[in-house]
């Protein structure tokens, strides 16, 4: 069975109720914003399914790891020979 890993870069909104670093090992839903269709919103602790087996919807993921970019520990990704730097405060979610 092949395992796939997805990466998402997340920018927390000012005044977010919970810190983004707490998303590790939680389920999240990634949904297009109604107010800003060019943005996606992340909702935490979302479960799909009932009973012992959990079925995930197409937009629900379990976060494996969270990396926060900071001036002391900047995160850079190489994609198609281009370097993409995350801004301080942005997070890289490994799903």
For residue 2, is it within any domain? no
Quote the pTM value. Answer: 0.73
Q: What is the pLDDT of residue 71?
A: 93
Distance between CA atoms of residues 23 and 7, nearest Å: 14
As for how many domains the chain has, the answer is 1
Q: What is the pLDDT along the chain (95 residues), one digit of tens a residue?
A: 656 788 888 887 777 656 788 888 888 888 888 888 888 888 887 665 554 545 557 888 889 999 999 999 999 999 898 998 998 988 899 98
**7: Cβ–Cβ under 8 A, 6 or more apart, which residues?**
77, 92, 93, 94, 95
Tell me the residue range of the domain where 87 lies. Answer: 7-13+22-94
Residue 1 lies in a domain: no
């Amino acid at each position: 069975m092949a395992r796939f890993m997805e990466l998402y870069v997340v920018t927390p909104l000012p005044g977010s109720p919970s810190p983004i670093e707490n998303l590790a090992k939680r389920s999240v839903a990634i949904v297009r914003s109604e107010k800003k269709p060019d943005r996606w919103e992340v909702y935490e602790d979302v479960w799909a399914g009932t009973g012992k087996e959990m079925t995930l919807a197409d937009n629900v993921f379990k976060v494996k790891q969270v990396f926060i970019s900071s001036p002391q520990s900047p995160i850079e990704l190489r994609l198609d020979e281009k370097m993409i730097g995350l801004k301080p405060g942005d997070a890289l979610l490994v799903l």
